Chains A and B, each alone.
Chain A
């Protein structure tokens, strides 16, 4: 090929203390292509891109942009070199307008008015060119995440970026929004922009990219043409062993009613009604999956069931009414009723990050008789118990004296799951079981959830990952704006239909 690569990295290495985040990485990204970088959490993808965007300085190695060797000591140099970055967590000022966010750092002079005028014109031109329409005067806090992401892309384009890096761009988007994003990316590619897409979702790589590089443990293990590979092959390259991408499970054998929710309503601290009259049932031996875009009331639903929030309506477990507002509406009372809860945010609600793993395996059940020895805690018993859990749930490293924060996301989740599942609950509430969890660990966690179902337990699964909902659930309910939009059987629906329901369109319309 005669043209120089848009970006070429040669021998990039970066260590944080004893951890080698990037080991001798070389990569060539050709102009006018979409290049995917895939790898598990902690594989070093983000570190590599942060080096490219001037957040970190590489210990070793060189960066070439369009054939020219450059040094990128800070973000300003990266912007000057034509690199734009859309971070996973948007870097927007919430109470500024779109326009103000776009010009921030790229103003033309000391006074704002001329810059704002020019930006308004430029944004209109960009919107026409790339179909990136946004209202320039809207406040960021008032627009949806899909729009916010467009603002991030516009920010980069306004700074004349030729190379656009997107870090896990679809994590917060509905399937429809994601499709729209990919259309925009293809449009950008057609106009000659180079795009680097960082993701851990195999589907996106297969759909959107021309070339894909796989990273594992800080190393670049392969770069292949997307058309010449398969999801199974990529997963194997990422994890280093064969991975089962589909969950293997027998058909459910639903038994007695375990959970009955009737006309549940939840009002949050700000006085906004988040759950608007939900009714649902879960039987023993089945998994009910709740699909929906984050922020549509599913978190509040879980919190009420788990005893972390008050609500009105009626919830029965094994035929007995739960206290929704009184003094038996707390999490401990719920646990006593046989409800175990794996919360959505494991780092804030599932674990105490500064406490050791063995201490974390007892939280919530610390008043259990087995853990007492007279007035004191029987730490020996708790530790023995913890060691068993860690072994059975394959927590790595298998050291129960480590603090929770020193485990990876997947292993933290295994600690929470071990604690809740081994209590043998009648009803398990699971929120986002595999958020930020590696492919290898996802497989294990899914197997554990299915195994609990096969023991005849009821499971309520809340997830924003449609693939997860589709492969784990025996029935799927879609939540939108605090209402259930309807129920589907996994075999009789697909991502497209569910995606429309998640966006508020009823199944009948489709």
Chain B
């Protein structure tokens, strides 16, 4: 394996990690506030469809992005209504959202485009194009670092950079602002927030809304950045992988970056080597494709040490007395 191949894999890993990173941070906001969200998958799917459909119809990827976020936000609102206002079971609400998104996107797609649930291919301004970072061309000649900069870091769509910027931003919001303090508090002990005179419901809705926006970005990136159309079930379990990454990351933003990048890397490797010849044994393509999912199972089975979720997670807040 030469240096260029490694760079190409890293480049691909970064692209594949981006939707996971968005979704992981989305889950981070929601779960830090005490709302478990198994519906990341559904929200991404919804956003992917509406961004592709709108981008195709209007020819503007930016309008598509907005439509994707809006679609995701609607599902967030449903999740909030069910789990915050009506104190329902957060897992059931999340599962329902996944089913709803899975069915609705194909149904509307069939009715609008008559392409078996897909949207037509997006071209030109209906897609996010790669951006060349400054000096990418000039620096490509510098040994080692040059190609790393021009091959791996440069040339991605704007959403990739937005996702990367979201990591320090999330850290800053969570740990350096009043909103972040309250958000973390409401996920640990909502009664403390309530007795301090702050609205538990308001905070949790805010968290769920942020989750919706980030899932919207993730879905839009899938359909208009990474891909060039909406395809039925195109999220392919990424919402669940993001949840696994979130646990892996112990609900911390920087760890979320590393965890999602690891998943992106596995996916990139399996894309690059459909079957991997290790000399003594050849790993079949099915195994390679299953790699991210196998890692997910391993992580969820608790092989990564103790990860303590937010203490009030999953429990609707009922005033005690």
Chain A interface (Cβ within 8 Å of chain B)? 46-47, 50, 53, 55-56, 74-76, 78-79, 85, 87, 89, 91-96, 100-101, 103-107, 109-113, 115, 155
Instruction: Produce 1/0 per residue, B281-315, CB < 8 A to A.
Output: 00000000000000000000000000000010000
CA distance A92 to B196 in the complex (A): 10
A95 and B191 contacting across the interface, CB-CB below 8 Å: no
CA distance A56 to B194 in the complex (A): 13
- Residues of chain A within 8 A (CB-CB) of B179 are 110
B197 and A55 contacting across the interface, CB-CB below 8 Å: no
- Asked if B57 is an interface residue, CB under 8 A from chain A, the answer is no
- Asked if B60 is an interface residue, CB under 8 A from chain A, the answer is no
A92 and B178 contacting across the interface, CB-CB below 8 Å: no
- Asked if B271 is an interface residue, CB under 8 A from chain A, the answer is no
Instruction: Produce 1/0 per residue, B184-208, CB < 8 A to A.
Output: 1100110111111110000000000
B197 and A96 contacting across the interface, CB-CB below 8 Å: no
Known pairs A91-B191, A105-B193 / 19 extra A-B pairs, C-beta < 8 Å: A53-B195, A56-B321, A75-B196, A91-B192, A92-B192, A93-B189, A94-B188, A95-B311, A96-B184, A100-B181, A105-B196, A105-B198, A107-B178, A111-B177, A112-B176, A112-B177, A112-B181, A113-B176, A155-B196
Which 7 pairs across A and B sit closest by C-beta, in order of nearness?
A105-B196, A76-B197, A91-B192, A107-B178, A75-B197, A91-B195, A93-B188
Distance in angstroms from A436 CB to nearest chain B CB is: 14
Q: Which residue of B lies closest to A108 (CB)?
A: B178
Q: List 24 A-B contacts (CB under 8 A).
A: A46-B321, A53-B195, A56-B321, A75-B194, A75-B196, A75-B197, A87-B195, A91-B194, A91-B195, A91-B196, A92-B192, A93-B192, A94-B188, A96-B181, A96-B184, A100-B181, A104-B181, A104-B193, A104-B196, A105-B193, A105-B197, A105-B198, A112-B175, A112-B181
- Residues of chain B within 8 A (CB-CB) of A78 are 197
- Residues of chain B within 8 A (CB-CB) of A93 are 184-185, 188-189, 192
CA distance A111 to B189 in the complex (A): 21
Residue in A55, A85, A101, A110 whose beta carbon sits within 8 Å of that of B319 in the complex:
A55
- Residues of chain A within 8 A (CB-CB) of B185 are 93, 96, 104
A91 and B319 contacting across the interface, CB-CB below 8 Å: no
- Residues of chain B within 8 A (CB-CB) of A92 are 189, 192
- Residues of chain A within 8 A (CB-CB) of B195 are 53, 75, 85, 87, 91
- Residues of chain B within 8 A (CB-CB) of A85 are 195
- Residues of chain A within 8 A (CB-CB) of B192 are 91-93, 101, 104
- Residues of chain B within 8 A (CB-CB) of A112 are 175-178, 180-181
Q: Which of A53, A92, A93 gathers the greatest number of chain B CB atoms within 10 Å?
A: A93
Distance in angstroms from B19 CB to nearest chain A CB is: 30
- Asked if B79 is an interface residue, CB under 8 A from chain A, the answer is no
Distance in angstroms from A5 CB to nearest chain B CB is: 24
- Residues of chain B within 8 A (CB-CB) of A109 are 178
A105 and B189 contacting across the interface, CB-CB below 8 Å: no
Residue in B177, B184, B194, B196 whose beta carbon sits within 8 Å of that of A110 in the complex:
B177
CA distance A89 to B194 in the complex (A): 14
B178 and A91 contacting across the interface, CB-CB below 8 Å: no
Distance in angstroms from A79 CB to nearest chain B CB is: 5
Instruction: Tell me the dominant secondary structure on chain B's binding face.
Output: helix
- Asked if B127 is an interface residue, CB under 8 A from chain A, the answer is no
Q: Which residue of B lies closest to A77 (CB)?
A: B197
CA distance A105 to B176 in the complex (A): 15
Q: Which residue of A lies closest to B312 (CB)?
A: A93
Distance in angstroms from B179 CB to nearest chain A CB is: 7
A111 and B188 contacting across the interface, CB-CB below 8 Å: no
- Asked if B156 is an interface residue, CB under 8 A from chain A, the answer is no
Q: Which residue of B lies closest to A110 (CB)?
A: B178
Q: Which of A74, A76, A95, A115 gathers the greatest number of chain B CB atoms within 10 Å?
A: A95
CA distance A363 to B64 in the complex (A): 62
B189 and A94 contacting across the interface, CB-CB below 8 Å: yes
- Residues of chain B within 8 A (CB-CB) of A104 are 181-182, 185, 192-193, 196, 198
CA distance A151 to B195 in the complex (A): 14
CA distance A103 to B196 in the complex (A): 9
CA distance A415 to B141 in the complex (A): 84
A94 and B311 contacting across the interface, CB-CB below 8 Å: yes
Q: Which of B176, B178, B179 gathers the greatest number of chain A CB atoms within 10 Å?
A: B178
CA distance A79 to B176 in the complex (A): 25
Distance in angstroms from B313 CB to nearest chain A CB is: 13
Distance in angstroms from A490 CB to nearest chain B CB is: 37
B188 and A96 contacting across the interface, CB-CB below 8 Å: yes
B196 and A95 contacting across the interface, CB-CB below 8 Å: no
Beyond A93-B185, A94-B189, A104-B181, whether A55 also contacts B321 by CB under 8 A is yes
Distance in angstroms from B203 CB to nearest chain A CB is: 11
Distance in angstroms from A95 CB to nearest chain B CB is: 6
- Residues of chain B within 8 A (CB-CB) of A46 are 321
Distance in angstroms from A168 CB to nearest chain B CB is: 12
A105 and B182 contacting across the interface, CB-CB below 8 Å: yes
Distance in angstroms from B92 CB to nearest chain A CB is: 21
CA distance A94 to B175 in the complex (A): 16
- Residues of chain B within 8 A (CB-CB) of A56 are 321
Distance in angstroms from A245 CB to nearest chain B CB is: 29
Q: Which residue of A lies closest to B310 (CB)?
A: A95
Q: Which residue of A lies closest to B194 (CB)?
A: A75
CA distance A155 to B177 in the complex (A): 19
CA distance A306 to B311 in the complex (A): 30
CA distance A95 to B184 in the complex (A): 10
Q: Which residue of B lies closest to A92 (CB)?
A: B192
Beyond A96-B185, A112-B181, whether A50 also contacts B321 by CB under 8 A is yes
- Residues of chain B within 8 A (CB-CB) of A155 are 196
- Residues of chain A within 8 A (CB-CB) of B178 are 107, 109-112, 115
Instruction: Produce 1/0 per residue, B93-123, CB < 8 A to A.
Output: 0000000000000000000000000000000
CA distance A285 to B201 in the complex (A): 57
Distance in angstroms from A54 CB to nearest chain B CB is: 8
CA distance A141 to B180 in the complex (A): 20
Q: Which residue of A lies closest to B176 (CB)?
A: A112
Q: Which residue of B lies closest to A85 (CB)?
A: B195
- Residues of chain B within 8 A (CB-CB) of A96 are 181, 184-185, 188
A74 and B197 contacting across the interface, CB-CB below 8 Å: yes
Distance in angstroms from A310 CB to nearest chain B CB is: 22
- Residues of chain A within 8 A (CB-CB) of B311 are 94-95
- Residues of chain A within 8 A (CB-CB) of B189 are 91-94
Distance in angstroms from A142 CB to nearest chain B CB is: 15
CA distance A50 to B321 in the complex (A): 7
Q: Which residue of B lies closest to A90 (CB)?
A: B192
Q: Which of B182, B189, B195, B198 gathers the greatest number of chain A CB atoms within 10 Å?
A: B195
- Residues of chain B within 8 A (CB-CB) of A106 are 196
The A-contacting residues of B in range 151-190, CB under 8 angstroms, are: 175-182, 184-185, 188-189
Q: Which of B179, B185, B189, B192 gathers the greatest number of chain A CB atoms within 10 Å?
A: B192
Distance in angstroms from B168 CB to nearest chain A CB is: 15
B321 and A107 contacting across the interface, CB-CB below 8 Å: no
CA distance A313 to B223 in the complex (A): 65
- Residues of chain B within 8 A (CB-CB) of A115 are 178
Distance in angstroms from B193 CB to nearest chain A CB is: 7
CA distance A140 to B179 in the complex (A): 20
- Residues of chain B within 8 A (CB-CB) of A107 are 178, 181
Q: Which residue of A lies closest to B178 (CB)?
A: A107
CA distance A109 to B177 in the complex (A): 9
- Residues of chain A within 8 A (CB-CB) of B176 are 111-113
Distance in angstroms from B43 CB to nearest chain A CB is: 28
Distance in angstroms from A483 CB to nearest chain B CB is: 29
